[in-house]
Structure 1
Amino acid sequence: MGRLKVMDLFCGTGGFGRGFERTGAFEVVYGIDLLPLSVDTFRLNHPRALAVAADIRAQSRAAVADRLGLHRDAVDVIVGGPPCQGFSSIRPHRSSRFDDPRNSLFEEFAAYVGYWRPRFLVFENVVGLATHRGGADLDAVRAEFDVLGYDTDWRILNAANFGVPQKRERLILIGVQRGGSIDWPAPTHAGWFRTIGHRDPARLLRPEAAAGLPPAPTVMDAISDLPPVRAGETATRYASPPRTDYQAARRAAGEPLTLHSATRHTDRMLEIVRHAGSNIASIPPHLISSGFSSCYSRLDPDEPAPTVTVNFVHPASNKCIHPFQDRALTLREGARLQSFDDDFRFAGSNRNATAKQIGNAVPPLLGEVLGSAIAAALGAAVA
């Protein structure tokens, strides 16, 4: 039996699909995103997949099917996170017109589901979708899938409870063809982290207090094996063996060290960074004029990182200063916190553009956890 086929919509760098592939049960056959550089990255890491850089609304699904040689019922899983704008304007059953150019981005996702009829779908999005307009938008999303013949269920989960060294909270909706079962993966790591909350606590996929799970990996669990670098410096070789299981897993391919280059901060920024503590209050007022509480602050070495943003190489934007070194995170450190393996390749040479690719990604390890649960439901062996 060949590997199960996955389509990755709004794929970005392809972190979600990469996680599914890490299970050993899946192969990603198609990815589409509006951003050409992100698709270049997707293509580097999924060389056998069809990669398209375009507005999904401009792509004929029939033409995509012909290029892939995969038509109805030939795709096993469709994953993706449509941008959250526009859920409130979903027009009932518009997606049943599979090539309607007026479809919203979510309706395009639904139309792919309706066209290919995968056995499962995995829809990833912001946590706020659960409560926006009293939950009406999420209800509309589920209603669309119901019309297409899919039973759905959803949870709010924190990536740190599944082995990612980052408190990244997301809403995950899983759909299965009518009558199938949805079995949620159990958290693998302990830790109760701040959440927006929900009126139904059963919607929060949290670990049991008495489960005896290991603590969620911390910032230093993820990056302590990377050699020290000062602002503006680059290191191209590992300075020590892996110090944790997490580091060993990220370095499994034995690749040379890449992307471990620190931002060259100005003298003024270096002075600010030297004062940095847990929040902006550590900075002498004469050095800064404004900023959120998390700006110009250091990561806690003994906790998972807060959500990695697209600006994690710039201390003025968020909490991204190294716990012990006077600089912002390197691209490699940001990628580690997002659970990218060290052999994952990023297209382009612009630091800010690469940081944006990393910060916008679905952590591959989260994709692997969800992929393993779906592979089990489909009776497929995992690595």
Structure 2
Amino acid sequence: MSDINVLDLFCGTGGFSYGFQRYSKRFKIVGAIDLLSHATDTTKANHPNCVTFTQDIRTLKPSELERSLKGKQIDLIVGGPPCQGFSSLRPFRSSKEDDPRNSLFEQFALFVNYFKPKVFVMENVVGLVTHNKGKTLTVIEDCFRQMGYKFDWRILNTANYGVPQKRERFILIGTRDGGKISFPTPTHSFKGKSIGVKQKERHVLAGTNLPPAVTLDEAIGDLPFIESSMASSEYGEMPLNEYQQEMRKNSNILTMHEAANHSKKMLEIISYSGSNINCIPKNLITSGFSSCYSRLNPNEPATTLTVKFQSPASSKCIHPFQDRALTAREGARIQSFNDTYKFNGSKTNIISMLGNAVPPLLGKAIASSVIEHFEEVMLEEQA
């Protein structure tokens, strides 16, 4: 079987496309674009043969990228255009690569329209479904329909695919060559919000014989105890389960396991923390969302990781057993990044990238569906 060349738009950590490569070495990450240098540096460090562009995608013409690929055909485009531009979306009418409209989604569409890959996968927040009373999604669907793509979308919960996190994502898959569009079958059971439904409502999945979702403790329980402002570069003990074994494969040195330097007042607040903000004495805090200053439950997948997962005042991110917020390594484990995955940038940059990342195991699951389409099309071409 031939290689499948992948272009990663808004690549961030490169985790989405990394998941495709974890499923099959046939997926070759040949190009990536991101506005932030620490993002493209991280992608390049893990995909050394990838051509990266560190710039606003609105300033990059598809033809420039095409020249840099030196004749390589783009078979698959993946990406999650930031949702800030959705409020200004308009019907897609132009096929010109220098179209002046500045919506980031429209730039994603522009690259799809230019390269005409056999398949594209667009990832985004669940709120896209109801944004502007559903009108935004209608414009997006009309756009891809005018390009001649067949497509479908689902809301997937990462906990159903081996990720130790209850993170729901909107996934739209489009194909140019017809054929069935399929979405990955869950590998883990999770009695939480639904997966694979288009309705705004959520439905609990029926009982299955699948293994239970990976819990937070199963994901990070082997990492050494550290206090606020401390760090550790040694594992200390052997992996305790299959998930930890997979995450630690080929890794001998522990990295990014450094605790935030909490203030004396924050440490006092954390000492009272429980399942929600109501556990904190009123004299210590004045306001906050119900999930702020809260401990994570070790016996279930973590709540959705955010870009503030080292700030208890901003998110539910306190370690279940230790008086501190999560470390970057624990965040990477929750997002299903192997311990050998290289991250570039400052500590703040890395925390932000992890909070925005698409879990590689979700990418891997989607790759299992996408590759079926490529194989089906290839068989039809050979017939």
Gaps of 5+ in 1: none
d(CA) in 1 for partners of 2:186 and 2:115? 31
d(CA) in 2 for partners of 1:43 and 1:322? 31
d(CA) in 1 for partners of 2:336 and 2:300? 15
1:70 is matched with 71
Q: Which amino acid aligns with 2:223?
A: L
Q: 2:367 aligns with which of 356, 364, 371?
A: 371
1:14 is matched with 14
Deviation per CA, 1:278-329: give whole Å up to 9, x if none. Answer: 1111111111111111111100000111100011111111111110011111
d(CA) in 2 for partners of 1:208 and 1:217? 16
Alignment identity in percent?
51
Gaps of 5+ in 2: 377-383
Give the secondary-structure state (helix, strand or coil) at the position aligned to 2:308.
coil
Q: Which amino acid aligns with 1:56?
A: I
| Mapping for residues 184-223 of structure 1, pairs under 5 Å | 184-194=183-193, 200=199, 208-223=205-220
2:358 is matched with 362
- Measured after TM superposition, the shift of residue 230 of structure 1 is 0.9
1:175 is matched with 174
| Mapping for residues 247-286 of structure 1, pairs under 5 Å | 247-286=244-283
d(CA) in 2 for partners of 1:163 and 1:198? 19
d(CA) in 2 for partners of 1:196 and 1:285? 38
Q: Which amino acid aligns with 2:160?
A: N
TM-score (norm: length of structure 2): 0.93
Distance 1:291 1:302, change over 3 A: same
| Count of aligned residue pairs for this structure pair | 375
1:324 is matched with 321
- Measured after TM superposition, the shift of residue 91 of structure 1 is 3.0
Asked if 2 retains the 8 angstrom alpha-carbon contact of 1:95 and 1:108, the reply is no
2:157 is matched with 158
1:344 is matched with 341
d(CA) in 1 for partners of 2:148 and 2:33? 24
Deviation per CA, 1:51-89: give whole Å up to 9, x if none. Answer: 111011111211111111136xx2111000111133343
Distance 1:198 1:208, change over 3 A: closer
d(CA) in 2 for partners of 1:168 and 1:38? 21
Q: Which amino acid aligns with 2:63?
A: A
- Measured after TM superposition, the shift of residue 226 of structure 1 is 0.5
- Measured after TM superposition, the shift of residue 144 of structure 1 is 0.8
Give the secondary-structure state (helix, strand or coil) at the position aligned to 1:85.
helix
- Measured after TM superposition, the shift of residue 187 of structure 1 is 1.0
Distance 1:376 1:255, change over 3 A: farther
d(CA) in 2 for partners of 1:329 and 1:246? 18
RMSD over aligned CA atoms reads 2.0
Q: Which amino acid aligns with 1:369?
A: A
d(CA) in 2 for partners of 1:95 and 1:251? 48
Distance 1:171 1:355, change over 3 A: same
d(CA) in 2 for partners of 1:84 and 1:70? 32
1:120 is matched with 119
Give the secondary-structure state (helix, strand or coil) at the position aligned to 1:6.
strand
- Measured after TM superposition, the shift of residue 90 of structure 1 is 2.8
Greater shift, 91-100 or 33-42, is seen at 91-100
- Measured after TM superposition, the shift of residue 2 of structure 1 is 4.0
- Measured after TM superposition, the shift of residue 103 of structure 1 is 4.2
- Measured after TM superposition, the shift of residue 207 of structure 1 is 7.8
Give the secondary-structure state (helix, strand or coil) at the position aligned to 1:321.
coil
Asked if 2 retains the 8 angstrom alpha-carbon contact of 1:94 and 1:107, the reply is no
- Measured after TM superposition, the shift of residue 208 of structure 1 is 4.7
Give the secondary-structure state (helix, strand or coil) at the position aligned to 2:166.
coil
